[in-house]
Structure 1
Amino acid sequence: MPEWHIRRMFERFSRGLDVVDGSLNVFRANPRLAVLPLCSLLLVGSGFAVAAGIALHYGLVESLFTNDLIKYAAIFVGLALTSSLGAFFNVAVAHCAFQYFDGEAPTVRDGLQSAWRSRRAIAIWALTSATLGTVLYVLDEKFGFLGSAARLVFDLAWGLLTFFVVPVIAVEDTADLRTILRESGHAFKQTWGESVSASLGVSLVVLPIAVVGIVLLGAGYLGLHGAAAWLLGGLGLLVVVAAIVAGQVLGMVARTALYEYATDGRRVGPFATRDPDSVFPDS
């Protein structure tokens, strides 16, 4: 690989870290935002635990593997649960970020109230995501390689189109799905390079922390016994949860700042002192 190409890669990586550092400054100023993704994790985990308990109590576990109707229904419900709760609390984070960028002092309560006001848009979004996710799973399962390829391509396109859905729901007073998708797609078109770079930057910072937590969990489960295993495993779980929570907040802060730039041209948060166009230059 040519030296100039390696140097460019490191420069882009450095710019991505700058975005993460700027988002981290916002997080430091509003540490209570961590409560929102943590609540999402706890509620999703509780929901799946209750569903697992019901499946075990009524003997539905085997049916999940042998009965297509029950299996696909379970997938739909699981996707709807994670999509709705994830979107609800992410909208709350985005609202708090918008408030902070406007010079206000956001609170967790403000974020939750904003998400509740947007509950109809969140519900429509969650049902749409769950329906598409279930259909793509069926295609993947029933049509082999072609289904898997179609799912991969559609997942990528859908992910790009809906990159800014949460900030749109947080700031736009609409539950019309076409409007939400149009606004999200337009914002991504305006900032596609910056969006990709910011997302990669967050992932590259958070992923190693999560891996450390997973290693600690594995070491506690496989290599130790008794209190030591519980202690090390518990520490690993805390590290993984902290990485997920931090990643959610940092990613949402960066997306919200980019949405402001794409729609109003304002440089806020991670981009207050830098031109977002310089985060991922074309040349």
Structure 2
Amino acid sequence: MRERYRNGLAVIDASLDVFRARPRLAVLPLLSLATVGTAYAAVGLAFLHYGLLEAVLENEFVKYGALFAALAISSGVGVFFNAAVVHCATRQFDGEETSVRDGLAAAWDARREIAKWGLVSATIGTALYIAEDNVPGVGSLIQSILNLGWSLLTFFVVPVIVTDRTGSLRSEIRKSGDAFARTCGESITAAFGIGLALLPVTLTGICMLAVAYVSATGLTAYALGALGGVLVVATLVVTQVLGMIVRAALYRYATDGERVGPLAELDPDGIFVDN
């Protein structure tokens, strides 16, 4: 198992080459962040304007409804733009020309499946939150374990939506779970390794923001705040793009045994170990 984790790190390193070849993919997670942020801002302003904030805080039904809506928006938008990244990455793997517009068009074609998954994710997330609040014995630890299990089971859902278009929730979950089972070591390492690799940059950005807020003044505060914000956003964007590139490549390998993209230059006998 330790060898499989080292193999995953090699996959992450190779995915950087794919990103360098198509840096415009960074536009897609930026659009995702902007869309989710705009939607949340609009909803927040509406709540403040109509005086609904107190109802959200005091009425459980309204609170859970607001939580469901927030999760549905973030999940649906996230899957949409991730699907666009996976489509572009897959076309690049096959040596075909692609663009951000192509990715958005492909994601729009799969909009029904994407909307469905946004609602499913929101339902699961809301149900776990309600259970933690109201069911004895379901604490934060159990909720975290259940969330982790669901995340691993649906690790490859976006590549499944983009490449298979089964239209069936059960089929999509099964395909994602099967692909994860075949590449669990590489997949887990990819998921955590990318974040860990970029963690120093993220912490630097957070420290700059903290210094700008706590102790800096004038132009220095604005400069540190702006640079810190750029670093944090940049790491979020790069992490998202690399994660989708790796998932697209690993899904192709898990289903077809074909090494593409970040996996193409890796020796299958030395990198992939069948268990």
Three-state SS of the structure 2 residue aligned to 1:267 is coil
User: CA deviation digits over 1:164-184, x for unaligned, max 9?
Assistant: 000000111232111111111
In the alignment, does 2:89 pair up with 1:71? no
Shift in CA distance, 225/12, structure 1 to aligned 2, threshold 3 Å = farther
Which one of 186, 189, 192 corresponds to residue 184 of structure 2? Answer: 192
Which one of 251, 261, 265 corresponds to residue 269 of structure 1? Answer: 261
5+ residue gaps, structure 2: none
Shift in CA distance, 253/64, structure 1 to aligned 2, threshold 3 Å = same
What do you get for the CA RMSD once the two structures are aligned? 2.0
CA shift at 1:264, angstroms? 0.6
Which one of 9, 22, 40 corresponds to residue 14 of structure 2? Answer: 22
Shift in CA distance, 280/209, structure 1 to aligned 2, threshold 3 Å = farther
Tell me how far apart the structure 1 counterparts of residues 254 and 25 of structure 2 sit (CA, whole Å).
Answer: 24
Moved more, 214-223 or 148-157: 148-157
Tell me how far apart the structure 2 counterparts of residues 122 and 277 of structure 1 sit (CA, whole Å).
Answer: 36
What is residue 3 of structure 1 aligned with on the other side?
none
What is residue 175 of structure 1 aligned with on the other side?
167
What is residue 215 of structure 1 aligned with on the other side?
207
Identity value in percent: 51
Tell me how far apart the structure 2 counterparts of residues 49 and 124 of structure 1 sit (CA, whole Å).
Answer: 24
CA shift at 1:153, angstroms? 2.6
What is residue 124 of structure 2 aligned with on the other side?
132
TM-score (norm 1): 0.91
Tell me how far apart the structure 1 counterparts of residues 233 and 15 of structure 2 sit (CA, whole Å).
Answer: 19
Moved more, 142-151 or 36-45: 142-151
Contact 2:201–2:232, Cα closer than 8 Å, also in 1: yes
Letter in 2 for 1:113: A
User: CA deviation digits over 1:19-56, x for unaligned, max 9?
Assistant: 22211100000011000000000011111111111111
CA shift at 1:18, angstroms? 2.5
Which one of 80, 87, 95 corresponds to residue 88 of structure 1? Answer: 80
Shift in CA distance, 206/149, structure 1 to aligned 2, threshold 3 Å = same
Contact 1:19–1:201, Cα closer than 8 Å, also in 2: no
Pairwise mapping of residues 36-55 of structure 1 onto structure 2 (< 5 A)?
36-55=28-47
Which one of 211, 227, 240 corresponds to residue 232 of structure 2? Answer: 240
What is residue 244 of structure 2 aligned with on the other side?
252
User: CA deviation digits over 1:124-148, x for unaligned, max 9?
Assistant: 1110000110010011122354343
Tell me how far apart the structure 1 counterparts of residues 131 and 236 of structure 2 sit (CA, whole Å).
Answer: 30
Shift in CA distance, 46/72, structure 1 to aligned 2, threshold 3 Å = same
Aligned length: 275
CA shift at 1:123, angstroms? 0.7
User: CA deviation digits over 1:169-224, x for unaligned, max 9?
Assistant: 01112321111111111111111111112222211112222111111111111111
Three-state SS of the structure 1 residue aligned to 2:138 is helix
Tell me how far apart the structure 2 counterparts of residues 69 and 277 of structure 1 sit (CA, whole Å).
Answer: 55
Shift in CA distance, 262/12, structure 1 to aligned 2, threshold 3 Å = closer
Letter in 2 for 1:65: L
TM-score (norm 2): 0.94
User: CA deviation digits over 1:209-242, x for unaligned, max 9?
Assistant: 2111111111111111222211111111110000
Tell me how far apart the structure 2 counterparts of residues 127 and 262 of structure 1 sit (CA, whole Å).
Answer: 27
Letter in 1 for 2:197: V
Letter in 1 for 2:10: D
Tell me how far apart the structure 2 counterparts of residues 139 and 125 of structure 1 sit (CA, whole Å).
Answer: 21
Shift in CA distance, 62/101, structure 1 to aligned 2, threshold 3 Å = same
Shift in CA distance, 136/275, structure 1 to aligned 2, threshold 3 Å = farther
Tell me how far apart the structure 2 counterparts of residues 147 and 229 of structure 1 sit (CA, whole Å).
Answer: 40
Contact 1:193–1:280, Cα closer than 8 Å, also in 2: no
5+ residue gaps, structure 1: 1-7
CA shift at 1:87, angstroms? 0.1
